[in-house]
Amino acid sequence: MTRRAPRGRDDEGAVAVLMAVSMALFLVVVAMVIDFGLIRVDRQVDKSAADAATIAGLHALNTGDTKAHPAVGVCTALRFLRENGARFAAVTSASGSWKSGTNVTLANGCTDDSLRTKVCKPGDLSTWVKYMWAGTWSGVPLTVTIQSGYAIPLGAPAPPGEPSWSEDALAAAQADTEDNAQGCNQLAVVITQHRQPGFGSLATSSDLVTSIRSVGRIKIGPGGYAPAMLLLKRTGCPVLAVGASGGGASSWIHVRGAVSSNGRAQPGTIHSDSDGTGCSNSIFAGKANDGIVTYAAPLVSNAAAADSTKPGSITSVAGANGVGIGTVRDAAASVYGSSALNESGAGAAAKADPSGRSMITRQPVDDRYMPVVGGGVRAIVSNAQASVFGLLTPANAVSNGYVKVTCSGGSVASLPALTSSSKLYVDCANLKSIPVVNAGTVVFSGQLSPSTSLSLPNATKVYIFGGSDAISLGTGNEFHMHTAGNTAAGTCTNTAVPANKAILVIKGGGIKQTGGALQLCRTTMVMMGGSPDGCVPSTNGAAPTQSPCGVGGMGSGQIAQNGGTVDWTAPNTFDAMTMANGDDDPAKSPAWTDPLGPEDLAFWSESAANSGSTKASMGGGALLHVSGVFMTPNYEPFTIGGNGMQDLKDAQYISTSVALNGAVQLNMEVDPNAAVPLPKLKVVGLVR
């Protein structure tokens, strides 16, 4: 007997329902994949166009004066955006709105000359420029915003009308925040695009929205022209003045252009940081025809001809701030930049008034010669204090490896045999005479007042404890250092020679010279002003001060040369420290911070000086032969004197102000590879 199996259920209807639901879901997923794929394409197209526009705008920010011009950058970015996609064809300068960072309506930044010449000022949002456009593409909304300056809103609300950017909260992004330019170094392009869903409308009826942002940054870096004089006084006048007897054949400053050994040409330049505030006379006082003149760069291919594209220039912050030209210079014929190569062709050549430039400060000099990470002047001061001034005494000199000699009546009668590897300690409060010192390292426990000639031909490290003066020279008195193999016809040479350099460090007091001769070959002198830290500021770019060594402390490191001859050259290891484009050569740049003799640095003193009892001067006699950088940021003024014409080839003065004394005539010519250049704007690239 068999049993019939039970009859199964009919599942055919359920399967059909499942298939229908699955197909609907599948279609929704496919539609969303297609729509999101189109969104991805939109983002790629928009980001590529925004990146190109941002880079173009960055390059345009600098119109040649190393200052950021936001309207020019925004306009250029706008033009490039239109060229990089048909969707942006309607985005024109006239179809959008222009506003400042404070939301004030502006004129068209592509056509208004006054807006295009405006410079971005850090911290001043009224100098920012923002272009906004809202329209449609393919029937859906499209918005474009281009802005410079621009501050990345790290941890803060996004700017009005701009999406929030989650990327700003990422650790990598936070490590690449904006520097102290406060927005003036950045340009941004923001694009927000809508797209109507296609098959995706099965899931949503709302527009699909994508927003992208490109942010680019520029930076201030070396590579500009090296001025013969960088004058740091920030207010008041005069900042540069020729002698009281006037210009013409009596007193003048002429700065010629130069071509470096690696084929880089620059015109003669002078810059003043004074903004003209409180001036009752002129910043640049030429006092007579041709009193202060800068000349054009020579052609690299023909040094006997002028490069008309690089005329001489004289700049000031006052000129950038719209201060009247009558305050900037005393007369058009007295102070000008010339398109001529030198005086012989100046008569018929074009002449230009001083122009405007943003504040430079001492920052470029500090960054080169005393970087925050160490080395350079800071290392020279700290090493001298630790190993000499804060350590050595007559009692422990021998135990510290020195040969010690003492004086009688200020004189040392004889010396033991010494070589360039010897270390000599001279125990004498006021040394007047000593035989030729052949030691390589020499320490003087007091001050020097040579009665005849004091010669240290092999010395590469000399330390003077000093006193009321560190070195005092009169008629017939001489001081010679590091001369062995470094002179020609008795005068210091300055051709490039590797590892041939010296330092002279003075703890207290300065140099007083009324006659005789001061000769320092390939030598950097640092005056500490009587302070263990050399009165060096804790931060770079500090403003000039008459109290660098504490409240009321001017420091004792003044140089007062009012007679005799001066023959002084800086260390020179390399002919070319920079590449042909002006950028630092990374293989050679450590020479600038070498504590055994920073490249091209002749003199550094943080001490202050004024026109009263504490004065600073250089010149005096028939010979003034100096080359290198002379850093006296608190000398007000640094007086340059002498009789007749002085040829200062490759000498650069950084001081609060400079004044000529008497009938001195200065011919200056600065090799751009042997001086500190003014900064220029460089494109860093995209940072977002």
Q: Let me know how many helices (H) and strands (E) the chain has, helices first.
A: 8, 43
Tokens linked to 104: 């004030």
Average pLDDT over all residues of the chain: 86
Residue 233 vs residue 43, higher pLDDT: 233
Specify the range with the lowest mean pLDDT, choosing from 264-268, 294-298, 598-602, 605-609.
264-268
Specify the range with the lowest mean pLDDT, choosing from 199-208, 383-392, 568-577.
199-208
Nearest 5°: the CA angle 492, 494, 497 is 120
Going by the DSSP 8-state scheme, the letter that residue 591 receives in this structure is G
Range 492-502 average pLDDT: 92
Q: CB–CB of 602/627 below 8 Å?
A: yes
β-sheet bridge partners, residue 411: 408, 433
Distance (Å, whole) CA 25 – CA 54: 42
Distance (Å, whole) CA 39 – CA 212: 12
Q: CB–CB of 194/136 below 8 Å?
A: no
CB atoms within 10 A of CB 409: 8
Q: CB–CB of 502/571 below 8 Å?
A: yes
Q: Residue type for 463, please? A: Y
Q: Whose structure tokens read 């943080």?
A: 606
Residue 158 vs residue 317, higher pLDDT: 317
Ordered DSSP codes for 393-437: -TTTTGGGT-EEEE-BTTB--------TT-EEEEE-SEE-B----
- Kindly indicate the confidence band of residue 147, based on its pLDDT and cuts at 50, 70 and 90: very high
Q: What is the pLDDT of residue 516?
A: 93
Tokens linked to 236: 């008041």
Burial degree of 289 (CB within 10 A; 0-12, 13-18, 19+): middle
Distance (Å, whole) CA 361 – CA 679: 11
Burial degree of 437 (CB within 10 A; 0-12, 13-18, 19+): buried
- Whether a cis peptide bond, with omega within 30° of 0, leads into 637 is yes
Q: Both ends of the chain: CA-CA distance in Å?
A: 86
Phi-psi region of 158 (alpha: psi -120 to 50; beta: other; left: phi over 0): beta
- Kindly indicate the confidence band of residue 156, based on its pLDDT and cuts at 50, 70 and 90: very low
Burial degree of 7 (CB within 10 A; 0-12, 13-18, 19+): exposed
Tokens linked to 231: 């004058």
Nearest 5°: the CA angle 391, 393, 396 is 90
> Nearest 10 degrees: CA dihedral of 676, 682, 684, 688?
130
Tokens linked to 437: 């010192």
Specify the range with the lowest mean pLDDT, choosing from 166-170, 336-340, 346-350, 592-596.
166-170
Range 653-663 average pLDDT: 92
The residues near 365 (Cβ < 8 Å, ≥ 6 apart) are 230, 629, 631, 633, 654, 676
pLDDT exceeds cutoff 90 at 119:
no
Distance (Å, whole) CA 337 – CA 353: 7
3-state secondary structure 223-274: CCCCCCEEECCCCCCCCEECCCCCCCCCCEEEEECEECCCCCEECCEEEECC
Nearest to 477 by CA among 447, 451, 448, 511: 451
Distance (Å, whole) CA 46 – CA 44: 6
β-sheet bridge partners, residue 559: 511
Specify the range with the lowest mean pLDDT, choosing from 250-264, 337-351, 402-416, 612-626.
612-626
Q: Residue type for 86, please? A: A
pLDDT exceeds cutoff 60 at 239:
yes
Phi-psi region of 529 (alpha: psi -120 to 50; beta: other; left: phi over 0): left
Nearest to 120 by CA among 74, 158, 52: 74
Instruction: Compute φ and ψ for 16, nearest 5 degrees.
Output: -65, -40
- Kindly indicate the confidence band of residue 459, based on its pLDDT and cuts at 50, 70 and 90: very high
Q: What is the pLDDT of residue 33?
A: 53
Nearest to 247 by CA among 677, 665, 679: 665
Going by the DSSP 8-state scheme, the letter that residue 589 receives in this structure is G
Give the start-to-end residue ranges of the domains of the chain.
Answer: 20-154+169-221, 224-362+643-682, 372-407+421-537+557-575+585-632
Q: What is the pLDDT of residue 591?
A: 95
Range 432-459 average pLDDT: 97
β-sheet bridge partners, residue 308: none
Nearest to 572 by CA among 438, 681, 671, 647: 671
pLDDT exceeds cutoff 50 at 234:
yes
- Kindly indicate the confidence band of residue 5, based on its pLDDT and cuts at 50, 70 and 90: low
- Kindly indicate the confidence band of residue 390, based on its pLDDT and cuts at 50, 70 and 90: very high
Q: CB–CB of 683/216 below 8 Å?
A: yes
Nearest to 362 by CA among 605, 120, 92, 616: 605
Q: Residue type for 164, please? A: S
Ordered DSSP codes for 83-104: HT-GGGTT--TTTSEEE-TT--
- DSSP reduced 3-state for 380: helix
Phi-psi region of 18 (alpha: psi -120 to 50; beta: other; left: phi over 0): alpha
pLDDT exceeds cutoff 80 at 21:
no
The residues near 11 (Cβ < 8 Å, ≥ 6 apart) are none
Range 188-194 average pLDDT: 87
Q: CB–CB of 431/447 below 8 Å?
A: yes
pLDDT exceeds cutoff 80 at 25:
no
Instruction: Compute φ and ψ for 633, nearest 5 degrees.
Output: -65, -15
Tokens linked to 269: 């330049």
CB atoms within 10 A of CB 667: 16
Residue 394 vs residue 363, higher pLDDT: 394
Going by the DSSP 8-state scheme, the letter that residue 590 receives in this structure is G
3-state secondary structure 296-320: CCECCCCCCCECCCCCCEEEEHHHH
Distance (Å, whole) CA 66 – CA 62: 5
Going by the DSSP 8-state scheme, the letter that residue 187 receives in this structure is E
Q: What is the pLDDT of residue 155?
A: 46
Nearest to 312 by CA among 342, 291, 289, 287: 342
- What pTM value is reported for the model? 0.78
Q: What is the pLDDT of residue 137?
A: 82
Between helices 12-61 and 70-83, what is the axis angle to 10°?
Answer: 140
Nearest to 224 by CA among 361, 66, 86: 66
- DSSP reduced 3-state for 453: strand
- Going 50 to 53 to 152 to 118, the CA torsion angle's sign is negative
Q: CB–CB of 74/91 below 8 Å?
A: no
- Kindly indicate the confidence band of residue 16, based on its pLDDT and cuts at 50, 70 and 90: low
